[in-house]
Amino acid sequence: MTIQERIDSAAEAVRARTGATPELGLILGSGLGDFCDRLENQTVIPFSDLPGFPLPTVEGHEGALVLGTCRGRAVAALRGRVHYYEGYAQQEITIPVRVMAKLGVRTLVLTNAAGGVNLNFQPGNLMLISDHINLSGANPLIGPNLDAFGPRFPDMSDVYTKALRERLRPLAAQAGIPLREGVYVMYSGPSYETPAEIRCFRAMGGDAVGMSTVPEAIVARHAGLQVMGVSCITNMAAGILPQPLSHAEVVETAARVKQDFTRLLELMVDIG
List active site positions.
Answer: 30, 61, 83, 85-86, 113, 211-212, 235, 247
86-92 long-range contacts, CB within 8 A, separation 24+: 86/54, 86/56, 86/57, 86/58, 87/57, 88/54, 89/138, 90/136, 90/138, 90/139, 90/140, 90/142, 90/215, 91/3, 91/140, 91/142, 91/143, 92/3, 92/6, 92/54
Strand partners, 109: 26, 228
8-16, 81-89, 135-143, 231-239 -> range binding ligand HPA (CB under 6 A): 231-239
Minimum CB distance to ligand HPA smaller for 161 or for 213: 213
Q: Which residue in 91, 107, 134, 235 binds ligand HPA (CB under 6 A)?
A: 235
Give me the least distance between CB of 133 and ligand HPA, in Å please.
13
Q: Which residue in 28, 219, 237, 264 binds ligand HPA (CB under 6 A)?
A: 237
Q: Which residue in 84, 184, 192, 261 binds ligand HPA (CB under 6 A)?
A: 192
Q: CB of 202 within 8 A of CB of 117?
A: yes
- Is 115 one of the binding residues for ligand HPA (CB under 6 A)? yes
Rounded-to-integer distance, Cα 127 and Cα 207, Å: 9
Residue nearest ligand HPA by beta-carbon distance: 115
- Is 185 one of the binding residues for ligand HPA (CB under 6 A)? no
Give me the least distance between CB of 244 and ligand HPA, in Å please.
11
Using CB atoms within 10 Å of the CB of residue 142, give its burial: 0 to 12 exposed, 13 to 18 middle, 19+ buried. Answer: exposed
Rounded-to-integer distance, Cα 2 and Cα 13, Å: 17
Compute CA 248 distance to the chain's CA centroid, rounded to the nearest angstrom: 20
44-52, 81-89, 146-154, 229-237 -> range binding ligand HPA (CB under 6 A): 229-237
- Is 210 one of the binding residues for ligand HPA (CB under 6 A)? yes
Q: Which residue in 32, 76, 113, 146 binds ligand HPA (CB under 6 A)?
A: 113
- Is 129 one of the binding residues for ligand HPA (CB under 6 A)? no
3-state secondary structure at position 213:
coil
Minimum CB distance to ligand HPA smaller for 129 or for 250: 250
Q: CB of 136 within 8 A of CB of 184?
A: no
- Is 234 one of the binding residues for ligand HPA (CB under 6 A)? yes
Q: How many CB atoms lie within 10 A of CB 147?
A: 9
- Is 31 one of the binding residues for ligand HPA (CB under 6 A)? no
Give me the least distance between CB of 234 and ligand HPA, in Å please.
5
Minimum CB distance to ligand HPA smaller for 60 or for 224: 60
Rounded-to-integer distance, Cα 58 and Cα 84, Å: 12
Region of 214 please: left (phi>0), alpha (psi -120 to 50) or beta: alpha
Q: Which residue in 24, 74, 211, 219 binds ligand HPA (CB under 6 A)?
A: 211
Q: How far apart are the first and last CA of the chain?
A: 33
The site for ligand HPA (CB under 6 A) is made up of: 113-115, 192-193, 209-211, 234-235, 237, 245, 250
